[in-house]
Amino acid sequence: MLRPFSQLAGEIGDQYITITKLTIGDFYIDGCALLNHAHTPTIAVHIAVMVGVLVVLAGAGRSLFSHSQVVIRWMMRSGIAGLVGYLAVSIAYISGVVADVVEYLYLGHLTQTLLAASALAASLHALNRMIKKHTNYVPLAVVATVTIPVVATTAFADGTVLTYVLLSYHLMVAGFAFYVFTSYFYGVLGRVSQRLGLVTASLFYGGGIVFSGVAALYLYVTGRYLSGGFNFNVYTTYLVVESVLSLAGTGAGIAGLLSLKRVKPVETKVEGVTGIESIDQEIGFRYPSIVVVVGPPGSGRTTILTKLAATRLAAGDSVAFFSFDHMADHVFEHLAKFGCDVKACVDERRLAVFSSIGSSSRKGTYSIKADPNEINITFSQALTMLRPGRKWVIIDSITPIMVEHSTDAGLRLLRTLCAKARITGSGLWVSYNSTAYPTQITSLVQDSFEGVVELALEERKGVLDRVLRVLHMEGKPVSGRWYKLIV
């Protein structure tokens, strides 16, 4: 049966104030204070754990989540606010401003939870950016964090006045949430490390398991103590065990962070398809490859396809470039900026540019309508026109055809062209505006291809950066990591 909090505070309040002051004093003088004073919930240990979580968040964010630094910084500030709040509550309790030990425990756990929730939110955001499928565990975690203490409190209540049950429930949720969120945060870091093939995953997973154990222990012991099942000596013994395990979990995270910093990327020189290092490191040299480049306007879709064309022409391959967004002269100019000798390539029958916008008298340019049937026929003719050897067809972009002739017509054309590319053994890269249609249509477009490169715009320090990732490549594992677009 739950005891009134006034009785609880009267029972342990004086002991707690005296012992806490003694422990904190000894903590700075004697590093073994935690063992010498087994009765006390050491505030210094709690602070060390919170600082450790912040250090792991900052270090892992810098190493693993370089594409989400803005979010990491905001969440770090929120986490620091939680740490400062905990320090303020602790000082208020030691100085006597907050006299009720239960009130102190409740406020202290709330501020701790703010820090853990911030770390978890930042890591989940970064993980969602790295994998195609968004993490859907948050509702389950929130429900579990709330319902488990409710069930435990109800089980321990045994007919107690409802007010005491609710107060006990709030205290148990506040403490339980901190350890659960911290455990989940470590688990996310372990998952990201494992996805990237890093040996640090086991350390993060281990720390998460330890904090899960602390959460379960906290729930059981606190519930039993508040209901009168355990005396004060048992409770203070638990506090020592909690401190040791929390420090162990924090140490595992710090060790994982240090190991992460020692991991140096292996420099590998691979023959690239596109000439863009971040993409080539992910997919290597793949011919033929059938890939769609998706992204919003201004994210660099045309830049990637033009760089691809220039790189393949420099390697001696042949390219048929279909442009439905730009004039043919514009394509030639951009190829020249990437170092391509367009005149020589045209003379050698290795370059042909087809455009639906305007006309040009320049050799090697051809007019084409944004009509599915005409594109289908010209696709085959273009492959015949080009010099024998490795051939690439680039279409920038498929969106105008879908807008002008319906989504179904565009999707049928894509499936036909992909089939032709496979039969003829030719490379095919197509761009698509991901903001033009709902995500369901975008998924249908992606399903036609063996590879997907995704582009996005991300604001950093008031400037929009273009970032990319290889979302999928058939037959080859990819990291899903975001890179800054550098050409």
- Which of 5, 39, 8 is closest to 23 using CA atoms? 39
* Architecture label for domain 277-484: 3-Layer(aba) Sandwich (3.40)
DSSP 391: E
Nearest-angstrom CA–CA distance, 280 and 284:
5
**For residue 10, what are its two tokens?**
């009267």
User: How crowded is residue 289: how many other Cβ atoms within 10 Å of its Cβ?
Assistant: 21
The pLDDT assigned to 351 comes to 93
Structure confidence at residue 103 (pLDDT): 66
Distance (Å, whole) CA 476 – CA 473:
6
Which tens digits make up the pLDDT trace of 265-285? 434 444 567 788 888 888 877
In sequence order, which ranges of 65-161 are alpha helices (DSSP H)?
69-94, 101-130, 138-157
Rg (CA), the chain: 30
AA identity, residue 454: E
Amino acid at 161: V
How far apart are alpha carbons 319 and 312 in whole angstroms?
Answer: 8
Helix (H) or strand (E) holding 226: helix 201-226
Cβ neighbours of 484 (radius 10 Å): 13
pLDDT at site 294: 95
Indicate the CATH number of 5-262 among 3.40.91, 1.20.1070, 1.10.357, 1.10.150. 1.20.1070
Q: What's the confidence (pLDDT) of residue 460?
A: 75
pLDDT tens per residue, range 364-418? 889 999 899 999 999 999 999 998 888 999 999 899 999 999 999 999 999 999 9
Mean pLDDT per 10-residue interval, the chain, length 487 residues: 42 36 30 32 75 79 58 70 78 71 68 75 64 48 56 53 53 77 83 70 88 87 75 78 86 80 45 79 83 92 92 91 90 91 92 86 87 92 90 93 92 93 92 92 92 89 86 85 85
| 348 alpha-carbon distance from chain centroid | 46
* Pair 353, 336: CB distance under 8 Å: no
Question: Which residue, among 15, 13, 41, has the nearest Cα to 100 in the 3D structure?
Answer: 13
Q: Which part of the chain has CATH 3.40.50.300? A: 277-484
Length of the chain: 487
| Phi, psi (rounded to 5 degrees) for 401 | -65, -40
Report strand pairing: 290-295 vs 427-433. parallel
Nearest to 227 by CA among 183, 302, 280, 165: 165
Looking at residue 422, the DSSP 8-state letter turns out to be: H
pLDDT of residue 166: 56
Residue ranges, CATH 1.20.1070, the chain: 5-262
Rounded-to-integer distance, Cα 41 and Cα 171, Å: 15
Q: What is the 3-state secondary structure (H, E, C) of 267-332?
A: CCCCCCCCCCHHHHHHHCCCCCCEEEEEECCCCCHHHHHHHHHHHHHHCCCEEEEEECCCCHHHHH
Q: What's the confidence (pLDDT) of residue 275?
A: 83
Asked if residue 453 lies in contact with residue 434, where contact means CB atoms within 8 angstroms, the answer is: no
What is the model's pTM?
0.48
Alpha helices, DSSP H, located in 131-161: 138-157
> Residue 307 burial (CB < 10 Å; 0-12/13-18/19+)?
buried
